[in-house]
Amino acid sequence: MEWLLDLSERYRAQLRSGPFFQSLAQVQRPSDLKWVHQLIHQSREFTSALCLRYSLCKDRNYQGIFAEHAVQEADHPDLLLGWMEKYGFLDGSEPQPASPATVNSLAFCWRSAVRDTCDVQVIGLNLLSEGVALDFYTAVIPVLERLDILSGNYWKVHREVDNVHLTMGLDRCGDVRPESSTGRYYQQVLWHSASLYNAMLSSWVNQPAKTLAVLPAEMLGVPLPAKRKSSPTDPQILT
């Protein structure tokens, strides 16, 4: 479904113009990368959510894909912790607590793994989440190279697999048209998950998150999905 790939990319482009990605040019020393303490929470819990997704899946059409994804992510938190320890980010202590925006984003991943249908999980946890991850590592790896702290398998493996992970399972979702009720729901999932990642990444550099634009209807030739009302449980998202 090329229209979904296109829509996801356009939301990701909004994130790439946000404060986190813009801040990378100002990084001068490893101590400027305080957000790695948030990254380890994201890595741990996203991986756990993928494992839970597989364990709960009863649909044979998706079981193998979910298992493969979970297995390929399983050692990432340990790899990241090893890198953090090597370069003095831990100093013998546990990482700093997760920020509220990080918790909100991770809550979306857990909720999707438990409650969403398999196709919707593919949209949120593969297409959008792994697309954002691809953009993140593509932007961060050159910074680590410049600081001479790029080592180990954690960063290398993400550079290799995220582009594969983002399309895993998409072919199992069928030929969904953007104007269908399912297509409209997919659009809402993309906007909502992108908004949560935008809030999370902005919080990592202590900047407010701007509201992501719901993309123009004429881009896809269909009416816009309704905007979700704001909720006290996710104060970072403004609609």
Q: How many CB atoms lie within 10 A of CB 184?
A: 18
Q: How many CB atoms lie within 10 A of CB 80?
A: 22
Amino acid at 3: W
pLDDT in tens, 134-161: 999 999 999 999 999 999 999 988 878 8
pLDDT in tens, 63-116: 999 999 999 999 999 999 999 999 999 987 778 899 999 999 999 999 999 999
**Whether the predicted pLDDT of 229 surpasses 70:** no
**CB proximity list for 64: less than 8 A, separation 6 or greater:** none
How confident is the prediction for the chain on average, in pLDDT? 89
Distance CA 201, CA 183 (A): 27
pLDDT classification of 176: cutoffs 50, 70, 90:
very high
pLDDT in tens, 8-50: 999 999 999 999 999 999 999 999 999 999 999 999 999 999 9
Distance CA 20, CA 137 (A): 12
All domains of the chain in start order, with CATH: 2-22+31-219 (1.20.910.10)
More confident residue, 188 or 94: 188
pTM above threshold 0.85: yes
pLDDT classification of 1: cutoffs 50, 70, 90:
confident
